[in-house]
Structure 1
Amino acid sequence: MSRVKSRQNVEICGDCGAPDATWASINKGILLCTQCCSIHRSLGRHISQVKSLQKGSWNPNQLAMVCTLNNNGANSIWEHNLLENNGKLMKKKPNPKDAISVKSEFIKAKHLQCAYTFRDNATYDEGLENELGKQLHASVRTPNLETSFRLLVQGADPNYFHDERGTTPLHIAAKTEQKLQVELLLVYGADPTFPDAHGKTPIDYAKKNVNKDLLNRLIESQYEVTDAFIQYLTHKRPDHQNGIHFILPQGGFESNPNSLTKLQKMKNALFEQLAMDVYDEIDRRETEAIWLSCVDAIDLNVVPFLPVDSTMSKPRNQGRQKLARFSTPELKSLVFDILIDTQRRQLLSETGPNRTHLREYSPVSDDDPLYDSVAPDEDYALPPIQENEKPQTDTVEQLTKQLKASDSTICDLKAEVNQLKAHVESLKCENIELKTRLSQCKVPETNNSINGDEFSSLQPIISNGDVDLRQNRKNQRPSSMYETREGLKTPNWQLLKNQIKQNDQLRNATQSLYGTAQDKQTVFECTELITRSIQQLCKSIQDRDKEDCVDSGEKVKFAVLRLATILPKETEKKSIKPMCDILPHLLAECYSLQTAHKEGDAAKIERHLTKIRELSFYLAKHTKDILTRYSSAQ
Structure 2
Amino acid sequence: MSRAKSRQNVEICGDCGAPDATWASINKGILLCTQCCSIHRSLGRHISQVKSLQKSSWHPNQLAMVCTLNNNGANNIWEHCLLENNSKLMKKKPNPKDPISLKSDFIKAKHLQCIYTFRDNANYDEGLENELGKQLHASVRTPNLEMSFRLLVQGADPNYFHDERGTTPLHIAAKSEQKLQVELLLVYGADPTFPDAHGKTPIDYAKKNVNKDVLNRLIESQYEVTDAFIQYLTHRKPDHQNGIHFILPQGGFESNPSSLSKLQKMKNALFEQLVMDVFDEIDRRETEAIWLSCVDAIDLNVVPFLPVDSTMSKPRNQGRQKLARFSTPELKSLVFDILIDTQRRQMLAEKGPNKTHLREYSPVSDDDPLYDAVAPDEDYATLPTIQETEKPPETPNSNVEELTKRLQQSDSTISDLKAEVHQLKAHLESLKTENTELKSRLSQVKVTENSINGDDFSSLQIISNGDTELRQNRKNQRPSSMYETREGLKTPNWQLLKSQIKQNDQSRNATQSLYGSAQDKQTVFECTELITRSIQQLCKSLQDKDDCVASGEKVKFAVARLATILPKEGEGKNIKFMCDLLPFLLTECSSLQNANKQGDVVAADHHINKIREVAFYLAKHTKEIVTRYSSTQ
What range is the shorter-chain TM-score in?
0.5 to 0.7
Aligned residue in 1 for 2:243 = 243
Contact 1:267 1:377 in 2 (8 A): no
Instruction: Tell me how far 1:11 sits from its aligned partner.
Output: 1.5
Aligned residue in 2 for 1:306 = 306
Aligned residue in 2 for 1:197 = 197
Contact 1:345 1:380 in 2 (8 A): no
Q: Where in structure 2 are there 5+ consecutive unaligned residues?
A: 1-7, 366-375, 381-633
Matched, 1:376 2:355: no
Q: Distance in 2 between matches of 1:95 and 1:111?
A: 17
Match runs of 1:239-278 below 5 Å: 239-278=239-278
Aligned residue in 2 for 1:172 = 172
Deviation string for 1:423-455 (max 9, x for gaps)? xxxxxxxxxxxxxxxxxxxxxxxxxxxxxxxxx
Q: Distance in 2 between matches of 1:142 and 1:266?
A: 44
Q: Distance in 2 between matches of 1:32 and 1:257?
A: 44
Could you tell me which amino acid in structure 2 is paired with residue 200 of structure 1? Answer: K
Q: Distance in 1 between matches of 2:182 and 2:111?
A: 23
Cα separation, partners in 2 of 1:20 and 1:267, compared to 1, 3 Å: same
Determine helix, strand or coil for the equivalent of 2:258.
Answer: helix
Deviation string for 1:374-419 (max 9, x for gaps)? 24155569xxxxxxxxxxxxxxxxxxxxxxxxxxxxxxxxxxxxxx
Q: Distance in 2 between matches of 1:9 and 1:37?
A: 19
Name the stretch that deviates more: 10-19 or 87-96: 87-96
Cα separation, partners in 2 of 1:474 and 1:196, compared to 1, 3 Å: closer
Matched, 1:279 2:279: yes
Deviation string for 1:66-122 (max 9, x for gaps)? 000000000000000000003322211100000000000000000000010001111
Matched, 1:54 2:38: no
Deviation string for 1:103-149 (max 9, x for gaps)? 00000000000010001111111000000000001110110000000
Deviation string for 1:290-330 (max 9, x for gaps)? 00000000000000000000000000000000000000000
Q: TM-score, normalised by structure 1?
A: 0.56
Q: Distance in 2 between matches of 1:351 and 1:193?
A: 19
Q: Distance in 2 between matches of 1:235 and 1:128?
A: 46
Contact 2:349 2:361 in 1 (8 A): no
Could you tell me which amino acid in structure 2 is paired with residue 41 of structure 1? Answer: R
Contact 1:39 1:104 in 2 (8 A): yes
Cα separation, partners in 2 of 1:250 and 1:476, compared to 1, 3 Å: closer
Aligned residue in 2 for 1:181 = 181
Aligned residue in 2 for 1:468 = none
Match runs of 1:353-368 below 5 Å: 354=353, 358-359=355-356
Aligned residue in 1 for 2:40 = 40
Could you tell me which amino acid in structure 2 is paired with residue 228 of structure 1? Answer: A
Aligned residue in 2 for 1:228 = 228
Instruction: Tell me how far 1:242 sits from its aligned partner.
Output: 0.3
Match runs of 1:441-452 below 5 Å: none
Q: Distance in 1 between matches of 2:146 and 2:131?
A: 18
Match runs of 1:11-26 below 5 Å: 11-26=11-26
Aligned residue in 2 for 1:88 = 88
Could you tell me which amino acid in structure 1 is paired with residue 331 of structure 2? Answer: L
Q: TM-score, normalised by structure 2?
A: 0.56
Contact 1:136 1:169 in 2 (8 A): yes
Cα separation, partners in 2 of 1:308 and 1:298, compared to 1, 3 Å: same
Deviation string for 1:256-307 (max 9, x for gaps)? 1111111111111100000000000000000000000000000000000000
Determine helix, strand or coil for the equivalent of 2:31.
Answer: strand
Q: Distance in 2 between matches of 1:89 and 1:181?
A: 33
Contact 1:349 1:379 in 2 (8 A): no
Instruction: Tell me how far 1:10 sits from its aligned partner.
Output: 2.6
Aligned residue in 1 for 2:296 = 296
Determine helix, strand or coil for the equivalent of 1:280.
Answer: helix
Deviation string for 1:472-512 (max 9, x for gaps)? x99699xxxxxxxxxxxxxxxxxxxxxxxxxxxxxxxxxxx
Contact 2:21 2:34 in 1 (8 A): yes
Matched, 1:120 2:104: no
Contact 1:348 1:375 in 2 (8 A): no
Cα separation, partners in 2 of 1:96 and 1:251, compared to 1, 3 Å: same
Name the stretch that deviates more: 80-89 or 251-260: 80-89
Contact 1:80 1:116 in 2 (8 A): yes
Q: Distance in 1 between matches of 2:116 and 2:377?
A: 48
Q: Distance in 2 between matches of 1:219 and 1:262?
A: 30
Cα separation, partners in 2 of 1:144 and 1:254, compared to 1, 3 Å: same
Aligned residue in 2 for 1:336 = 336
Q: Distance in 2 between matches of 1:119 and 1:230?
A: 41
Determine helix, strand or coil for the equivalent of 1:51.
Answer: strand
Root-mean-square deviation (CA), in Å?
1.8
Aligned residues: 363
Determine helix, strand or coil for the equivalent of 2:332.
Answer: helix
Could you tell me which amino acid in structure 1 is paired with residue 23 of structure 2? Answer: W
Q: Distance in 1 between matches of 2:251 and 2:258?
A: 20
Q: Distance in 2 between matches of 1:116 and 1:311?
A: 22
Cα separation, partners in 2 of 1:260 and 1:301, compared to 1, 3 Å: same
Could you tell me which amino acid in structure 2 is paired with residue 186 of structure 1? Answer: L
Q: Distance in 1 between matches of 2:238 and 2:107?
A: 38
Q: Distance in 2 between matches of 1:156 and 1:235?
A: 37
Matched, 1:133 2:133: yes
Aligned residue in 1 for 2:349 = 349
Deviation string for 1:171-217 (max 9, x for gaps)? 00000000000000000000000000000000000000000111000
Matched, 1:154 2:154: yes
Contact 1:44 1:307 in 2 (8 A): yes
Matched, 1:69 2:69: yes
Contact 1:81 1:90 in 2 (8 A): no
Could you tell me which amino acid in structure 2 is paired with residue 374 of structure 1? Answer: L
Determine helix, strand or coil for the equivalent of 1:296.
Answer: helix
Could you tell me which amino acid in structure 2 is paired with residue 376 of structure 1? Answer: E
Cα separation, partners in 2 of 1:211 and 1:475, compared to 1, 3 Å: closer
Q: Where in structure 1 are there 5+ consecutive unaligned residues?
A: 1-7, 360-372, 382-472, 478-634
Could you tell me which amino acid in structure 1 is paired with residue 360 of structure 2? Answer: P
